[in-house]
Chain A
Amino acid sequence: MLAYALLLSAALFVIGTLGVIVRRNAIIIFLSIELQLNAVNLAFVALSRYTGIEGQLFVFFVMTVAAAEAAVGLAIIISIFRHYKTVNVDRFNLLKW
């Protein structure tokens, strides 16, 4: 079952990647990133069955980081929205040359 879990994890990861690349809505991109994180978490949990509890611990940490990231990320999105009246990432490209 490990192989299937890992393949599922890979599939979820790739779908998340796709989401990050093709979507413009910052929130959806954010969700896709969470999806990638989840895919990795799944791999960790599946492997922890075979390597020890550390995999689960790592998932725990990843979740904490995800929570922190969500809080800050959403705050950023809110303040961007306040300024541009949109969350379309094409519209804020101040990082451009």
Chain B
Amino acid sequence: MALAASMPGPHLPVQEVAHWEPVLPGLIVLLPLLGFVANGILALRAAARSSAALRAGTDWDPFAGPARPRTHTLPTWIGPGVMFVAFVLALWNFAGLYGAELHDPVVVRYWTWIVTGNLQIDAAIQLDQLSMIMMLVVTGVGFLIHVFSVGYMKDDTGYPRYFAYLNLFVFFMLVLVMGAGYAMMFIGWEGVGLCSYLLIGYWFTDREKSDAGKKAFIVNRIGDLGFLLAMFLLFQAFGTLDFGPIFEGAEGRLAAGGATVTAITLLLMLGAAGKSAQVPLHVWLPDAMAGPTPVSALIHAATMVTAGVYMVARSSVLYALAPTSQAVVAGVGVLTALLAATIALQQHDIKKVLAYSTVSQLGFMFLGAGVGAFTAAIFHLMTHAFFKALLFLGAGAVIHAMHHALHKADSHEDAQDMRNMGGLKDRMRITWVVMWVATLAIAGIWPLAGFFSKDEIIWYTAAWAGAPSNPFGTLYTVYWLVALVTAMLTAFYMTRLMVITFHGQSRVDRNARPHLHEAPRVMTVPLVILAVLSVFGGWVNVPEPLAESFLGLFGALPMSEWLHHWLEPVTHDAAAIQTAALGEPVYGAPLVGGGEFAWALASTLAAAVVVLAALRALGGRKYVAAARDTAVPGGLRGILANKWYFDEAFDAGIVRPVLAASRWCWKVVDTVLIDGFVNFVGNFTRLAGWTVSLFQTGQANTYAFVLTLGVLLVLGAAVFL
């Protein structure tokens, strides 16, 4: 990237080694798999006991006895344990890679998996700067969420099953980010989809929740189709699916801006949109909140949904070759960001708000990837993992407390509806504080993580809009403006969430109020750790123009542009291609001019103003509990409350026609045509068989006679012909 190349920042003192051997990289992948197997066995044993009890006519309550059964104690150590070891190993490898001046990815091949025709797929993993960041995020945040889950899922009968799924998810996620080719990535891609389905429908006895799982699975399939087609095109173009040869040969083999590379990248984008919940395939993510809240934090906020961003970043070379696709990616991203943010304004379910927030933030990441700020996208991915995981876990802690309290009070009110909360800050101090940290981080308040990452994306959008040869300059300017508005909306809806949940009068059921209390230590400790990360996570990539200003504490924030330099081996090619195609980006606002410092200052001030304004405006308002809130919002609020009618549009535009067509196929094509044909064939065969069976006299002589006749024919043919 030109920015990084032209403005090298102060490097940290590193011990440079030319060669680097990864330390047990396979074990990082394998450990969660082992955890899955171990937990899976425990889950099967628990299921066996449960079904045995069912056969005996009773229900098996694993917590009825004086001590928890072993199936419900061992996962506590296995689940987070394997994650911890994997995280330590990842850190170790990171330290090794950090000390090495490595420009090429390290590929470790284990065995050749598929060989057919020209296609060879190796079971190989790739370690480079990008996958290392992803590994750290997946294992680190994953570990914290595992620990949190120990507290959150403590009283669930499916405890071992939950951890088995969670471990399996991490395994597939690691395969996704560490795979050395699109094929391996696709395995992980599908695997995390499966785990997502399993975990959304974790409480599968609830019809609504299992439906949500199916919805997620089906919507993802649409995107996967795009991914698959992209892989076919890639194989056609390169004869391989390995990253190395594809990215090295891309510039030579594919014409820049050509149809092939545009098709490939658009199809990849379709896949990414499915997985990362971009418009219009975002509809599954809010429904996915049916799963346990830690799952939402891990899969549907921090890791899996960011796989699309990772893929686009990984394929940066290809995207750099296709400016049209980039514009599409950025457009989809910014549109998603805006729509999701607006929807989030009118949601009452605390997790739904966070879900739309996630969709919105993912849109930001795609915007970043779309405008070529791949590093910024990954940066935002990372910081978002911290604060969104924190938000979800915090929401989890709230729901946990609410649920517990309502249960104690025999109340059937909705534990997730914010209208039933209010004033929780007195009872849940730690949660309240860390949630505010995360809110400020996501709102982009200096110097929290979100400020640096989101600001960088917006900044790059503006910069590339001003690039001299960019055919989509105007479009990028629009993107920039929308992104600014969306950033303000983000600050607003997050403040709204905080206010309704934690401030004001308590609307909790009167009987339940005394039972409300802070989450146990095992849950709050991960919260605090994530809060710390949300505060300081952004400091790894302080933009150069800010570094020496007061926004960079006059250089006191140590790691100026560190992530840029770190990822440079991965993004370098793409940056070079993009600069060659579009020209140098113009670092200044396209409309009014001005330096980055000024815009950054303005951004954080605007965010702060929005937060304060929202606090003022919303804090004074009186809210009513969900049961009495029957007012149907009209106008724009109604549209937003109904999520822009996306589900309804899909239902009318796709689901109903498909159902109607299916019914027609059943009634007409299947019943009349196909059944008729099949029955005809069957009847004809029976008739013919009956006719021929007349020859079957059961008498040996007849058979011998016919046999001889046949021999005679063959012999005659052989002799006379």
Q: When A and B assemble into the complex, do they touch directly, with CB atoms less than 8 Å apart?
A: yes
Chain A residues engaging chain B, CB cutoff 8 angstroms: 17, 20-24, 26, 29, 89-90, 93-97
Cβ of B697 within 8 Å of any chain A Cβ, yes or no, is: yes
Known: A97-B693, A97-B694. A90 touches B699 (CB 8 A): yes
Q: Is A89 a contact partner of B696 (Cβ separation < 8 A)?
A: no
Which residues from chain B contact A23 at a C-beta distance below 8 Å? 701
Query: Measured between C-beta atoms, what is the minimum distance from B306 to chain A in Å?
Result: 68
Q: Is A21 a contact partner of B696 (Cβ separation < 8 A)?
A: no
The distance in angstroms between the C-alpha atoms of A67 and B690, with both chains bound, is 38
Query: Measured between C-beta atoms, what is the minimum distance from A9 to chain B in Å?
Result: 14
Contact of B701 among A21, A94, A97 (CB under 8 A): A21
Of B698, B700, B705, chain A has the most CB atoms within 10 Å of the CB of: B700
Cβ of B708 within 8 Å of any chain A Cβ, yes or no, is: yes
Query: Measured between C-beta atoms, what is the minimum distance from B421 to chain A in Å?
Result: 79
The distance in angstroms between the C-alpha atoms of A93 and B697, with both chains bound, is 7
| Beta-carbon nearest neighbor of B690 in chain A | A97
Instruction: Give the top 4 A-B pairs by smallest Cβ distance, nearest first.
Output: A93-B698, A96-B698, A97-B693, A20-B704
Q: Is B701 a contact partner of A89 (Cβ separation < 8 A)?
A: yes
Q: Is A97 a contact partner of B704 (Cβ separation < 8 A)?
A: no
Q: Is B701 a contact partner of A24 (Cβ separation < 8 A)?
A: yes
| Beta-carbon nearest neighbor of B697 in chain A | A96
Chain B residues engaging chain A, CB cutoff 8 angstroms: 690, 693-694, 696-701, 704-705, 708
| Beta-carbon nearest neighbor of B711 in chain A | A17
Which residues from chain A contact B697 at a C-beta distance below 8 Å? 93, 96
Q: Is A97 a contact partner of B708 (Cβ separation < 8 A)?
A: no
Contact of A17 among B690, B700, B704 (CB under 8 A): B704
Q: Is B705 a contact partner of A21 (Cβ separation < 8 A)?
A: yes
Which residues from chain B contact A24 at a C-beta distance below 8 Å? 701
Known: A17-B708, A21-B705, A21-B708. A89 touches B694 (CB 8 A): no
Known: A97-B693, A97-B694. A89 touches B705 (CB 8 A): no
Which residues from chain A contact B704 at a C-beta distance below 8 Å? 17, 20-21, 29
Q: Is A20 a contact partner of B698 (Cβ separation < 8 A)?
A: no
| Beta-carbon nearest neighbor of A23 in chain B | B701
The distance in angstroms between the C-alpha atoms of A29 and B699, with both chains bound, is 12
| Beta-carbon nearest neighbor of A92 in chain B | B698
Q: Is A96 a contact partner of B696 (Cβ separation < 8 A)?
A: yes
Could you write out 11 A-B pairs with CB less than 8 Å apart? A17-B708, A20-B708, A21-B705, A23-B701, A26-B700, A29-B704, A90-B701, A93-B699, A96-B698, A97-B690, A97-B694
Known: A21-B705, A21-B708. A29 touches B700 (CB 8 A): yes
The distance in angstroms between the C-alpha atoms of A22 and B699, with both chains bound, is 11
| Beta-carbon nearest neighbor of B708 in chain A | A17
Taking A95-B696, A96-B696, A96-B698 as given, write out 15 further A-B residue pairs in contact, using a Cβ cutoff of 8 Å, ordered by the A residue number: A17-B704, A22-B701, A23-B701, A26-B700, A29-B700, A29-B701, A89-B699, A89-B701, A90-B701, A93-B697, A93-B698, A95-B698, A96-B699, A97-B690, A97-B693
Which residues from chain B contact A95 at a C-beta distance below 8 Å? 696, 698
Which residues from chain A contact B696 at a C-beta distance below 8 Å? 95-97
Q: Is A89 a contact partner of B693 (Cβ separation < 8 A)?
A: no
The distance in angstroms between the C-alpha atoms of A89 and B690, with both chains bound, is 23
The distance in angstroms between the C-alpha atoms of A23 and B702, with both chains bound, is 11
Which residues from chain B contact A97 at a C-beta distance below 8 Å? 690, 693-694, 696, 698
Of B698, B704, B705, B708, chain A has the most CB atoms within 10 Å of the CB of: B704
Which residues from chain B contact A17 at a C-beta distance below 8 Å? 704, 708
The distance in angstroms between the C-alpha atoms of A24 and B702, with both chains bound, is 11
Which residues from chain A contact B699 at a C-beta distance below 8 Å? 89-90, 93, 96
Which residues from chain B contact A21 at a C-beta distance below 8 Å? 701, 704-705, 708
The distance in angstroms between the C-alpha atoms of A95 and B690, with both chains bound, is 14
Q: Is A20 a contact partner of B694 (Cβ separation < 8 A)?
A: no
The distance in angstroms between the C-alpha atoms of A93 and B699, with both chains bound, is 6
The distance in angstroms between the C-alpha atoms of A21 and B703, with both chains bound, is 8
Q: Is A20 a contact partner of B701 (Cβ separation < 8 A)?
A: yes
Query: Measured between C-beta atoms, what is the minimum distance from A69 to chain B in Å?
Result: 15
| Beta-carbon nearest neighbor of A94 in chain B | B698
| Beta-carbon nearest neighbor of B693 in chain A | A97
Query: Measured between C-beta atoms, what is the minimum distance from A24 to chain B in Å?
Result: 7
Query: Measured between C-beta atoms, what is the minimum distance from A36 to chain B in Å?
Result: 10
The distance in angstroms between the C-alpha atoms of A22 and B705, with both chains bound, is 9
| Beta-carbon nearest neighbor of A26 in chain B | B700
Which residues from chain A contact B705 at a C-beta distance below 8 Å? 21
The distance in angstroms between the C-alpha atoms of A20 and B704, with both chains bound, is 7
Query: Measured between C-beta atoms, what is the minimum distance from B692 to chain A in Å?
Result: 9
Which residues from chain A contact B701 at a C-beta distance below 8 Å? 20-24, 29, 89-90
| Beta-carbon nearest neighbor of A95 in chain B | B698
Query: Measured between C-beta atoms, what is the minimum distance from A89 to chain B in Å?
Result: 4
Of B690, B697, B701, chain A has the most CB atoms within 10 Å of the CB of: B701
The distance in angstroms between the C-alpha atoms of A93 and B690, with both chains bound, is 17
Q: Is A89 a contact partner of B708 (Cβ separation < 8 A)?
A: no
Which residues from chain B contact A93 at a C-beta distance below 8 Å? 697-699
Which residues from chain A contact B693 at a C-beta distance below 8 Å? 97
| Beta-carbon nearest neighbor of B689 in chain A | A97
The distance in angstroms between the C-alpha atoms of A75 and B142, with both chains bound, is 74
Which residues from chain B contact A26 at a C-beta distance below 8 Å? 700
The distance in angstroms between the C-alpha atoms of A90 and B702, with both chains bound, is 10
The distance in angstroms between the C-alpha atoms of A96 and B699, with both chains bound, is 8
Query: Measured between C-beta atoms, what is the minimum distance from B205 to chain A in Å?
Result: 54
Query: Measured between C-beta atoms, what is the minimum distance from B89 to chain A in Å?
Result: 67
Query: Measured between C-beta atoms, what is the minimum distance from A26 to chain B in Å?
Result: 8
Which residues from chain A contact B694 at a C-beta distance below 8 Å? 97
Which residues from chain A contact B698 at a C-beta distance below 8 Å? 93-97
